[in-house]
Structure 1
Amino acid sequence: MKKTPLLNIALSRLIASLGHGDIIVIADAGLPVPKGVELIDLALTPGVPDLASTLQALLSEMQVQNHVLAHELLLAPCAALSSIEVHASKGALGSQRLLPHDAFKELCLQAKAIVRTGECHPYCNIALISGVIF
């Protein structure tokens, strides 16, 4: 049995497959998933799981170089924004980049996978750019 907190097989496989610069998007329930991008659907009911707990689980195994948010999230913050800010202040998310929501959706075309949560707040998405541990 694994020693780290992340138990989901698909997420563990995804993180193990990452190279430097690969992108994982943790998405709200409404973010469109582009054709050809892997979808790992964790959504059970509205709010379950939320973005904050999904982010916490991924960070238990993933080295993040930087992260991207839609600028609109800052204008209409979701509860997960405070969790994102805490992780960022601890250095777990690297530098932050803001994009307009339409540009964020274009970035999703480059994602290795999109992890769909039960988050039901507009613009409550984060793109994690994989770093290296050496």
Structure 2
Amino acid sequence: MLRNLPPILSPSLLYALRAMGHGDEIAIVDANFPAESSGPDCVRLDGISATDTLKAILSVMPLDTFVAAPARTMQVVGDPDAVPEIVAEFQTIIDDTADKPARISTLERHAFYEAASHAFAVVQTGETRLYGNIILTKGIIEP
């Protein structure tokens, strides 16, 4: 056990977060996402929600301020302007937890899959709400 770290940050997830550099991306995905076959290392957090995972990760990882879209979600198929309830929750968590909050942008479904395939790691959560997927770009910790 460690102090001041959310206990859902498993050893493998902490390793991935620490090993990531500025500009690297991490995908937090729901239980339906093809995480194991997407390419990057897959860290499993079965039974943990995507929203709890996002909050825990943002408590230790800064978002990138050098890119226009450091937080990206998947668009609803057939309704790209829709904002699923979980995406609205993601935005609230970013606003409340990130050291430098950012507006979430969206990617078309297949573009999201492609972006996730280039992430440093994919965190497969137990999230059952549809569109519970978000890609974060790691920023820097200023001196």
Structure 2 partner of 1:59: 58
Count of aligned positions: 129
Q: Secondary structure at the residue paired with 2:93? A: helix
The answer as to whether partners of 1:51 and 1:119 remain within 8 angstroms in 2 is yes
In the alignment, structure 1 segments of 5+ residues that lack a partner are none
In the alignment, structure 2 segments of 5+ residues that lack a partner are 65-69
Structure 2 partner of 1:70: 74
> Following superposition, which runs of at least 4 residues in structure 1 exceed 4 angstroms of deviation?
none
2:16 is equivalent to residue 17 of structure 1:
no
Query: Which letter maps to 2:74?
Result: A
Alignment of 1:88-99 (within 5 A): 88-90=94-96, 92=98, 93-99=101-107
Give the alignment's TM-score, normalised by structure 2.
0.79
Q: 1:59 to 1:74 in 2, by over 3 A?
A: farther
Structure 2 partner of 1:37: 40
The answer as to whether partners of 1:24 and 1:114 remain within 8 angstroms in 2 is yes
Give the alignment's TM-score, normalised by structure 1.
0.84
Structure 2 partner of 1:26: 28
Q: Secondary structure at the residue paired with 2:73? A: strand
1:85 and 1:110 map into 2 onto residues whose CA distance is: 23
Whose strand proportion is higher, 1 or 2? 1
2:13 and 2:81 map into 1 onto residues whose CA distance is: 27
Displacement after TM superposition at 1:49 (Å): 1.0
RMSD: 2.0
Whose helix proportion is higher, 1 or 2? 1
Q: Secondary structure at the residue paired with 1:30? A: coil
Q: Secondary structure at the residue paired with 1:12? A: helix
| Per-residue Cα deviation, 1:9-51 (whole angstroms, up to 9, x for no partner) | 11111111110110100000111124531000111xxxx2111
